[in-house]
Structure 1
Amino acid sequence: MNIGNRLSSVALALLFLFSIGCKRDNVDPVAPANDTSLSNINSWVYEVMKDAYFWSSSLPAQNTLNANANPSDYFEKLIYKRSTVDRYSGITDDVAALQKEFKGISKIFGIQYQIAAPDQNSSNVGLYLSYVVKGSPAEAAGLKRGDIITKVDGQALTNGNYATLLRNNDTHSFTLGTLEGTMLTSDDNKTYSITKAEVSENPVGFSKIIDKSKYGKKIGYVVYTQFVPGTDSSPKAYDDQLRKVFGEFKAQGVNELVLDLRFNGGGYISSAETLASLIGKNISTSKVFYKEQWNENYTAMMKKQKGANALDHNFLAEANNIGSQLERVFVLTSQGTASASELVINGLKPYMSVITIGDHTNGKNLFGTLIDDDQKRWNWGMYVMLGQTANANNESDYGTTNGIAANYKVDDTVIPYRSFGDDNETLFSKVLNVMDVPVSPNARLGATASVKPLSSEFLKDNLQTGEKRMIMEF
């Protein structure tokens, strides 16, 4: 699969026949059903982009482009300010595979990690596991958050060989080890052969109520890894699990909330609406969660047909909303926190204090969808940025590489990684500090070390960064 050599993402199919009937005439180029020449594919690409792309008015003239170029190269010529503005639109020659990924289904080992050296002068590196996907081969093998992979296929990882060793193989042997001071030591008795498998990832990775009643706090903690509502067989299963978690928080009188989005690159807007509607304080179905802005043609068309508020989206009525029990929400963030995650952060800010702890977010205020050829003439598809979002106060100033700044900048590099919700876990420890809750004495564990990351984001499987998704579903 080729996605324009970019780490792109997102959605199901936009057929350009929206429910409001806003299809432009002659969007699809006329071509014989069996004609899959490059010129016809590229003509289709151009017409789709001219119609729906957020920056459609900035496209180069079609007659200035090479109609017979590879579609990936042709598509890149259409992207608006690739390095700074549209970092996300992409093209694929296997649209069916990408659709599965957008639903949270992918072929994975199931490991996420920080690749790092014990110190700046060390050539040895380790994979410090930050998250292991529920139901994945890695979890089945017994790997867990806090483990350190020191060897791959029997070879010690170094800053010179890790990229080669972690190549795109479907089976690897992983050897675990320990870090003592600046010394990585392997334990060959802890070697696991793991083969990728197709996994439908449950985004509710962890939840717990942490009782700090001595200090007047009952803390709800949830790790949420992607915005996916459910599976094909149970379309609302994951959203309903999220509702169940918040129902327990509500019943148990939770009065502080920690939303861990460190590993969440986004997903479907519909699930972002669900999550925000479970959290927001003094919200209702008459209050705006977010607003959309499309290109000139679609913005005008939608407002003409549906009125001035056509692009406003209100909160949902969620029976398990805990907003009345909260004054604030703590959100744990990283540079991989993106898209729908940022939508939730930004959308809640007009209604309550949102305190971010960790690193700045990715900076994606854009939404898009995956568009395939409705005549099924080819397997090419595009993830196209359709527009951007703002909150109820019309704020949308985080769409840069600096993202949303952390209120408390905390380096998530202290090894070993503690369990989620552990008093000594680096980011949660800072949450407790801000709450004026001391760390429990029995949580003061052994020696730790701060490692030197080789990447600004948590990586997964074969050195992949997380996809950045804000999926508009039609």
Structure 2
Amino acid sequence: MKNSLKYLSLFLLFALPLSFFTACSEDEELVKTKEKTEEETEPTDTGIDSETLMVNNFIEDTMSIYYFWNEEMPDINPEKQEDSEEYFNQLLKSPDDRWSFITDDYEALINYFSGIQKSTGYSLMPMYLNATSNQVIAFIEYVHRDTPAEEAGLKRGDMIYKIDGEIIDDQNYSDLLSRDIFEATLGELDANNEITEVSTVNIEAIETNLHPVIESTVIDTLGQKIGYLAYSSFVANYDTALVNAFSEFKNAGVTDLIFDLRYNGGGAVSTATLLGDMIVPPGNSGNTFIERVFNNFLTNEFKRDPTFSTDDLKIKFEENGFNLGLDKLYVLTTASTASASEMIIYGLEPYMDVIQIGTTTHGKYYASTTFSDQKNHNWAIQPIILRSINATNSIDYSKGLDPDHELSDYFYLFPYQLGDPRELFMAKAISVITGEPFIYEDEMSGLKSANIRLEQAQKFKKNLYPKRSRMWVEPSELLKLKK
């Protein structure tokens, strides 16, 4: 491991400088910083320019120590790699690692993790018009508050079938649906699966804060007070909004909680921990929510510290004044439910009955953190550095979490708004909670045999939103390894 001891001293979680995750240490003995000169961009005797070599060395030094699969990385000479992004991707363990990534825009990455994005403010599910057509239609899954989409009057269930007057298909969907300024043509499907134009709206994506609490409400039905929370991303900047929602649930005396994570690709582990504290049944303070497993090199280095304890690797529940005092949790899931969203399910399962309604989740049980060297370049890498296990170590890492009640997300056929008791998943959850018949049972029987190419729709969505399915560990969490 080239320079491993040098760089380990930057990271050691027992004396970790917080600045490392936003910029490399300024210690001259550990990181030799240089004034950038014109000569630095000139080709070196290795055949690549000095700046590329600097980035490549940063990648190698960091990955060789912190990458979860560091012992399985191929032996590639960084001095011969002209493309830093390609070099980084070649180091990743395939097919296990589908999540580590590199960027040449550190500031944009940090904004993304803070919930700041250039966005229209809606989430789309592109799908084929029918079983044989190559035409694609895009349904709105949800709309964030205070965004261009909300201002344009768009809502869940609206269908976009043209962008700038051009019909969407499986070749142009990514380009058309990713535009920043455009005219969207909305349509409706008739009984013959023909599209009728409804209206057009002009939209411009802006840099905005995307509030992850999409909907929060309490439903009083059949003697049950059911709290409902639709949540799109685990963003620590909005933890106060989560606490406020749980405060309202507690004051309302909710008897059941439906946590809608269908469209949530993960986020900050610290926020998942906060949620765990507010959901886990009382009396579990001090019990393990999640245990973190690092690579052998780091683990052995931790053990060399005489004050190290295996408890340092565990995230434990803490008492929370907004805990709801429930013994069951109802979670709504799809294949888009990933990372921190899955952590809520498997982290709480040893302590309460977690009833999962929907489809199998994404299957990501790993977390990353940000490494950068802002003094020398604007590149940053986000490698997987740890695996999460629950208190009973009962996770099958080869697949996602399977539902207790299987239900596909046919929201475009039942276009009620999130939190409405008539919305498909909400109706199913209410049925499971109350024991009353599922109001769409007959319709579901007919849909199960229909070929609507939902698997391909998930591929469209993944291509449209490549940054989703991420879970990251914040520096403050790693610092907690040293009590």
Normalized against structure 2, the TM-score is what? 0.83
Kept after mapping to 2: 8 A contact 1:130/1:417:
no
Residue 143 (1) aligns with residue 154 (2): yes
Residue 297 (1) aligns with residue 297 (2): yes
Deviation at 1:306, TM superposition (A): 2.4
Residue 56 (1) aligns with residue 55 (2): no
Higher mean alpha-carbon deviation, 299-308 vs 385-394, is at 299-308
- 1:403 corresponds to: 400
Deviation at 1:467, TM superposition (A): 1.4
**Aligned partner letter, 2:228:** Y
Deviation at 1:60, TM superposition (A): 2.7
1-side partners of 2:283 and 2:240: how far apart? 20
Deviation at 1:117, TM superposition (A): 3.1
Question: Which residue, 424, 427, 431 being the options, matches 2:425?
Answer: 427
- 1:198 corresponds to: 207
Runs of 4+ residues deviating >6 angstroms:
22-29
**Aligned partner letter, 1:318:** N
Higher mean alpha-carbon deviation, 190-199 vs 110-119, is at 110-119
**Aligned partner letter, 1:55:** W
- 2:90 corresponds to: 77
Deviation at 1:435, TM superposition (A): 2.3
Kept after mapping to 1: 8 A contact 2:224/2:434:
no
- 1:9 corresponds to: none
State the Cα RMSD in Å: 2.9
Change (3 A) 1:300 1:169: same
**Aligned partner letter, 2:465:** Q
- 1:20 corresponds to: 14
2-side partners of 1:250 and 1:294: how far apart? 37
Kept after mapping to 1: 8 A contact 2:287/2:317:
yes
SS of the counterpart of 1:44? helix
SS of the counterpart of 2:242? helix
Question: Which residue, 94, 105, 110 being the options, matches 2:116?
Answer: 105
Q: Which has the higher strand share?
A: 1
**Aligned partner letter, 1:200:** N
1:71-470 counterparts in 2 under 5 A? Answer: 71-81=84-94, 84-159=95-170, 161-166=172-177, 168-187=178-197, 190-212=199-221, 214=222, 216-230=223-237, 238-303=238-303, 304=305, 305-322=307-324, 324=325, 326-373=326-373, 376-397=375-396, 399-400=397-398, 402-414=399-411, 415-438=413-436, 451-453=452-454, 454-456=456-458, 459=461, 463-470=464-471
Deviation at 1:270, TM superposition (A): 0.8
- 2:479 corresponds to: none
Q: Deviations over 1:319-370 (max 9, x none)?
A: 0101x2x231111111111111111111100100111111111111111111
Unaligned runs of 5+ in 1: 1-13, 231-237
Unaligned runs of 5+ in 2: 1-7, 18-24, 41-49, 476-483
- 1:234 corresponds to: none
Q: Deviations over 1:398-432 (max 9, x none)?
A: x33x3111222211125142111223322222212
Q: Tell me the matched-pair count.
A: 438
Normalized against structure 1, the TM-score is what? 0.85
**Aligned partner letter, 1:335:** A
Kept after mapping to 2: 8 A contact 1:118/1:452:
no
Q: Which has the higher helix share?
A: 2
Deviation at 1:458, TM superposition (A): 7.9
Change (3 A) 1:159 1:75: closer
SS of the counterpart of 1:165? helix
Kept after mapping to 1: 8 A contact 2:265/2:469:
yes
Question: Which residue, 28, 34, 40 being the options, matches 2:54?
Answer: 40
Q: Deviations over 1:62-95 (max 9, x none)?
A: 54x55332101111221112xx211111111111
